[in-house]
Structure 1
Amino acid sequence: MSKEKEPVFLFLGTYDDPDIARADLSIVRDLHEAKIIGTYDAGIATKDASGDIKINRAGSGHGGWTGIAAGAVVGLLFPPSILGMAAVGGATGGLIGHFTRGLSRSDVKDLGDLLDEGQAALIVLGKNRLVDELDRAGIRAAKRTERKLEVDASDLDTQLAAAAAELDTH
């Protein structure tokens, strides 16, 4: 009998002000410390004046959940030419492939369009549904969405640990 997959959820919120995105990331951390949300991976994507996207990674610090997955999600949504090259590389390449299998093409398009609308975005991946808890905590994203990824959390744990180890050796 096969073990049921543990789901992974993706929350993406967009912001006109990057400082509000950073404040909402603090809310995510507080919810984790209060054990309201479990293990998570997060990052803030911001656009500079030329339209390039930079990733600031953050995570729960559990295993490889250190912001690498959030960077990989942005790498999936945007071509590497407009990303800060530190966000894309061998360490995240395997994760991008993992997420490609976990999201439909229409989801990728919808998420990319949503991310493209704001000046900043908060990306949170977790093993729990996130949007209800984040809304209750008062996050201030202008627009938000949540998707259940068709990936197994234990497989993602393995990929994240490998990516984190690869980054540690560079």
Structure 2
Amino acid sequence: MTKPDAVFIFIGTYPTEAAARADYDVVKELHSLGAVGTYDASVITKDDNGKVHVNKDETATRHGAWGGAAAGALVGLLFPPAVIGTAVVGAAVGGVGGHLWRGMSRADVKEFGELIDDGQAALVIVGESKVAQAVEKAGLKAEKHIAKELGVSPKDIDQAVREAASEIG
């Protein structure tokens, strides 16, 4: 049972980037229908050199206030900076990542990171607990997935994103 004031993380792996993007589009459609609240999602890929890339194709206004910071912060926690090939918003990784880190055990971080290593592409979703219910009903097509609720308030993530945005610009 999800708590109404919690942060939800979903990571699913896919055989191709196109398959991950298809589920990414499902989540965007759920948001446009009002089925999910604030969330952030990204498709994650690894290149032939083992570099991790965070692929976004939308702006913050399309999916709420988190605007790339939450998914980027999660990726920043899961992988060492040397393997992240795409720039992750530095201030957001610090502030938002700190809140996410407090909500996860080391075992969670290891499990999330290993799941992404196993796939050719992954979909990462960080959002309010309302997202968990919608994702479950949507029947996303991930080959493997992990979904966890963190003991972190979405309000804390909102505040950390606002602080990071003010530091950046």
Q: TM-score, normalised by structure 1?
A: 0.87
**CA deviation after TM superposition for structure 1 residue 135, in Å:** 4.3
Kindly tell me: are residues 142 and 129 of structure 1, through their superposed partners in 2, closer, same or farther at Cα, counting changes over 3 Å? Answer: farther
Which consecutive residues of structure 2, in runs of 5 or more, have no partner in the other structure? none
Structure 1 match to 2:154: 153
Task: Give, in whole Å, the separation in 2 of the partners of 1:85 and 1:13.
Answer: 20
Give 1:52's aligned residue.
51
**1:62 match:** 64
Q: Contact 1:52/1:82 (CA < 8 Å) preserved in 2?
A: yes
Q: Check the 8 A contact 1:75/1:88 in 2, yes or no.
A: no
Deviation of residue 126 (structure 1)? 1.3
Alpha-carbon shift at residue 97 of structure 1 (Å): 1.7
Per-residue deviation, 1:36: 1.4
User: Is the contact made by 2:46 and 2:121 (CA closer than 8 Å) also made in structure 1?
Assistant: yes
For residues 8 and 120 of structure 1, the distance between their equivalents in structure 2, rounded to whole angstroms, comes to: 23
1:136 equivalent in alignment to 2:137:
yes
Contact map agreement 2:13 2:120 (CA 8 A) in 1: yes
1:80–1:88 contact (8 Å) kept in structure 2: no
Alpha-carbon offset, residue 88 of structure 1: 5.2
Residue 151 of structure 1, CA deviation: 1.0
Distance 2:18 2:132 in 1: 20
Unpaired stretches in structure 1, ≥5 consecutive residues? none
In the comparison of the two structures, how many residue pairs are matched?
Answer: 164
Structure 2 matches for 1:21-170, cutoff 5 A?
21-57=20-56, 58=58, 60-63=62-65, 65-84=66-85, 86-87=87-88, 89-167=90-168, 169=169
Letter in 2 for 1:53: V
Matched letter for residue 11 of structure 2: L
With normalisation by structure 2, the TM-score equals 0.87
Preserved CA contact (<8 Å) 2:36 2:131: yes
Q: Cα offset for 1:37?
A: 1.5
Paired residue for 2:6? 7
- Are the counterparts in 1 of residues 31 and 63 from structure 2 also a CA contact under 8 Å? no
Instruction: Return the letter of the residue paired with 1:142.
Output: E
Say whether the 8 Å CA contact 1:130–1:146 is kept in structure 2.
no
Sequence identity, in percent?
Answer: 44
State the alpha-carbon separation in 2 of the partners of residues 85 and 29 from structure 1.
22
Query: Residue 68 of structure 1 contacts residue 164 of structure 1 at CA under 8 Å; is this kept in 2?
Result: no
CA RMSD of aligned residues (A): 2.0
CA deviations 1:79-103 (Å, max 9, x no partner) are: 1110025115233222222211110
Distance 2:161 2:48 in 1: 31
